[in-house]
Structure 1
């Protein structure tokens, strides 16, 4: 009999720490009161240990288009997109607890109701989503892992991109924003072989973009911004 544990490829995290500075009382309240109603059911290792495939319609109890943001940081972009596109359901994935708390505060303020929050690894979703169910994906200012020996931890590697391609609808858009030149290099090398075509590369963001705290940091520190748009091959 095959040992499932030993036969499972090692998961290298493409994100850094889970916790930052001490949360404010209001942020602790957001986590205690608001997270569970927004957490998609049957997606985590805990509530779906068999990793059974879910029906995407259960996420919002309808058949609206589904979008995905991988690592939403402080949540500015995620809430902005939800407000601009109320007809879409957007799933945000972020294992950094402080970022989740910031997002929940922004959701309260914006009063948007078309978001689901997965406060864990996006690969948990890849495990249980069926083929071709995501209509758009955002990867904004991901952890750059600047040291060469850590480049294999970046999201733009086959271990992450191939599962992403599987769950995306043919023709769906995959957006990548970064201020790291070498991340652009690796993105251009790795994303097309995973099943995508580059359709635009620009120093100017998309028309519906909202500047995030990470973009503002890049501007302050004099790093050029890069905005890449890919399309899932049909």
Structure 2
């Protein structure tokens, strides 16, 4: 179902689910107690109707900023945060059940270098400064398998153009997917928007990254016999 997520600006389609199964009491408690403190300021239209760029130095104390687009259950994001305490990581996820799962993992891991936007990453693109993000992750995005729905995929100009704008020259963009046609579209579209694919041979996309943390989506893909692909791109200077 599509819905208007930015009425002040005009119509912006959103496709997918915002809610799933009924939340457990503990998950509701995470949302009530932790989300407001972890949400980056000035992302919502109510807070920031002028779309003033956010102050990432204030948010993360001057640390480099990374971005995870659709963090799912949050396991990869928390892993990266715990392994890289000198980095601040922003995660965007409109599916509230996934947000609740992430908040529980943040509590358990006791990481503090994270910010959580429970919404569309395009809202974050509206307020991120130019060339401000040093690494971005797109891990097992919704494949939208029907051909007529391919325009809903992340790897389209609507998303890649603002992503290129907010990434620093030399920044790394990682994409993981088990859907071959998503690989095709990624390799067609991403290099057209200011990126180069860092691959010299098949092992470069068959082998997980050295710091990879396998997600529940990947584990499901492996159980069902699908082959993961690990694509690494670098933002080139304009």
- Residue 17 of structure 2: aligned partner: 17
Q: Which runs of 5+ in 2 are unaligned?
A: 1-5
- Residue 93 of structure 1: aligned partner: 92
- Residue 49 of structure 2: aligned partner: 49
Q: CA deviation at 1:10?
A: 5.0
Distance (whole Å) between structure 2 residues aligned to residue 55 and residue 171 of structure 1? 21
Q: Secondary structure at the match of 1:28?
A: helix
- Residue 102 of structure 1: aligned partner: 101
TM-score using structure 2 length: 0.92
RMSD of Structure 2 on Structure 1 (CA)? 1.5
Q: Is the 8 A contact 2:66 2:136 kept in 1?
A: yes
Compared CA separation, residues 92 and 130, structure 1 to 2 (3 A): same
* 1:59 and 2:59 are equivalent in the alignment: yes
Q: Is the 8 A contact 1:12 1:153 kept in 2?
A: no
Q: CA deviation at 1:19?
A: 0.2
- Residue 118 of structure 1: aligned partner: 117
Q: Is the 8 A contact 1:180 1:223 kept in 2?
A: yes
- Residue 154 of structure 1: aligned partner: 153
Q: Secondary structure at the match of 2:35?
A: helix
Q: Is the 8 A contact 1:198 1:230 kept in 2?
A: yes
Q: Which runs of 5+ in 1 are unaligned?
A: none
Q: Secondary structure at the match of 1:68?
A: strand
What per-residue deviation string (whole Å, max 9, x for no partner) do you get for residues 114-165 of structure 1?
A: 0000001111111111110000000000000000000000000001000000
